[in-house]
Structure 1
């Protein structure tokens, strides 16, 4: 695939290019610092874990429906202002369009979310969502090469990327607001009519294998992956999002195409745009480029398999100068009212340089260089992790 929003938690997303910084650049598969940030549709919380925004994430895989006219669902409002925060329209084929009109800005971010992630994959398909995300950047019907896609966005001063998580895949671009509707066309082309060239697939397979190999050279990333595998063993929720070298080597083109047709259906997608745009214009562009997609039922996701409460320990020995430790605890799912209490606990424990763990273990005892905590919330499960 191509990457992720700023400061992503290890193992949460994958990316090609890696750049470090706190501005609007992109840090993929890297552990974040104490800060937090917000981009369209993604929340980067303590520890840098990317969370697909609940307003977009909830309801993926809602099922097929008969095509019909677009329906205006409603809008959120800023407290005490009466000004709309976002507007939401559902097209006749089930595709959701969400916008946040920010007329004071000169830019816009256009995102397409798809209910496709590691929780939708069978064991033999491990890494398929991530592999497919890579392939969608290799060309599409109206821009048949990777270069044409990149130049169409970068020639107007834009940046673009993508991210694969356990429950969703995200494609996005940030451009001057005058180019926002053009980007709707570009992303729609990618997610509806990608070029699945067998030669390009083999090239990308080699790229992904190098990406996975890089994890072995980063103990911080590796520890975060291992702790998830230990917390949720032998099931998609705990499995590495990129798959394994063995599964990636074995994935045929036919499986990638079949998975694309299964998951990339309109009722399983959200188009989200924030910036100096008008909702009606975005809906019109969505109708033009995505409205003709036929409704279909997406593939299922695999629920968490409960385990007994016995503690588990996993150790990977590597010749490094430091020890990297992760402690993970089961927590609450995304829609639980208790998630706010867990978030508060996380802030007290390990968010920022005033947190209990940072003050005690770094400032007082000088035992560590970095320590933080983060939460993960999914449809039916969650975790609190200390690194």
Structure 2
């Protein structure tokens, strides 16, 4: 499977705030630069003249970048956090591990260990919450009534530094991931994505199965699924690989305090940003015509071109 968007957003506010994460951009600090104990505005925000909301971009001491949006007229406050790790970083032995971890993070934290407590809190406070796993990142988001924002941030931020990842709930979430795969795997768009992966470079992670199911998410020889889960979380869930966006009716100053209070606890493990040095296609995979008989009634011609990695130009399209 190529497209790994496992969930659709449940709220227009959450969708907007998750998209705003990309506006934070990447910053480079001199190794000798002294970092202030207070969050600092790091970027100039360019916005539409028709937008009267107030913006600020800050970097916490742990290198977590956060975009703040103050809108006194909104009725719900939201936050989204993206981790720059996804299905591409999974070990071959455990296809779908990033997706499985996304599920397991909701199974309680040290401060809020009750399973189901997070979802119940969000529902009781008029909110929505969701997450999805992509090839190169994993995104989490929540929106609640304004008055519940502080506590929502307390619960939400714990996913990223004190998740219990209790093996007791492994089978429950393995089955949840398997259920998603069973439901969506007969769809043409899923099959075509899998087919694309199969016709590209087998040495590239695009060729791996990354939805996850009961077959791929189990102990493999002397390698334990639980060990792989903990290793993945402990290595990649580092503040320097994260970006967040917050929107609230609060002032920018108040939001800075909330950001520092709740997100400064995430450790910076100085994990290098994942890179892939294997070409997605070699000469053997190019100049091919693939015929596919669809499950549904569809007639489609799709042309695919391999281009050089231009991710560094993302901010300017």
SS of corresponding position for 1:167? coil
Q: Matched residues in 1 for 2:81 and 2:4: separation?
A: 18
User: 2:130 aligns to what?
Assistant: 161
User: 2:16 aligns to what?
Assistant: 39
1:119 deviates by: 2.3
Structure 1: 4+ residue segments shifted above 4 A: 56-60, 65-68, 79-85, 313-318, 323-326, 337-340
Aligned counterpart in structure 2 of residue 13 of structure 1, from 5, 30, 33: 5
User: 2:203 aligns to what?
Assistant: 234
SS of corresponding position for 1:109? strand
Q: Report the aligned-residue RMSD.
A: 3.5
User: 2:23 aligns to what?
Assistant: 55
Aligned counterpart in structure 2 of residue 271 of structure 1, from 235, 244, 267: 244
* C-alpha distance after superposition, 1:144-175 (max 9, x if no partner): 13321111111011010101111211111122
CA contact (8 A) 1:102 1:275 kept: yes
Alignment of 1:73-92 (within 5 A): 73-80=42-49, 86-92=55-61
User: 1:333 aligns to what?
Assistant: 310
1:113 deviates by: 1.4
* C-alpha distance after superposition, 1:295-323 (max 9, x if no partner): 212255242532335223445667x3535
Aligned counterpart in structure 2 of residue 101 of structure 1, from 61, 67, 70: 70
* C-alpha distance after superposition, 1:203-239 (max 9, x if no partner): 1112212222223321232213322443454312454
* C-alpha distance after superposition, 1:113-169 (max 9, x if no partner): 112212222323432211110001111122213321111111011010101111211
Aligned counterpart in structure 2 of residue 248 of structure 1, from 197, 210, 217: 217
Q: Matched residues in 2 for 1:75 and 1:182: separation?
A: 30
User: 1:292 aligns to what?
Assistant: 265
Aligned counterpart in structure 2 of residue 195 of structure 1, from 145, 154, 164: 164
* C-alpha distance after superposition, 1:15-39 (max 9, x if no partner): 4xx89xxx8489xxxxxxxxxx952
* C-alpha distance after superposition, 1:339-360 (max 9, x if no partner): 85xxxxxxxxxxxxxxxxxxxx
1:10 deviates by: 7.9
1:171–1:66 distance in 2 versus 1, CA, 3 Å: farther
Q: Matched residues in 2 for 1:82 and 1:149: separation?
A: 33
User: 1:311 aligns to what?
Assistant: 287
Q: TM-score, normalised by structure 2?
A: 0.81
User: 1:143 aligns to what?
Assistant: 112
User: 1:322 aligns to what?
Assistant: 297
Higher normalized strand content (fraction of residues): 1
User: 1:3 aligns to what?
Assistant: none
User: 2:175 aligns to what?
Assistant: 206
1:185 deviates by: 0.9
CA contact (8 A) 2:74 2:248 kept: yes
User: 1:215 aligns to what?
Assistant: 184
More deviation, 284-293/156-165: 284-293
Q: Matched residues in 1 for 2:164 and 2:72: separation?
A: 36
Q: Are 1:111 and 2:77 counterparts?
A: no
For structure 2, the 5+ residue unaligned runs are none
More deviation, 228-237/95-104: 228-237
1:270–1:53 distance in 2 versus 1, CA, 3 Å: closer
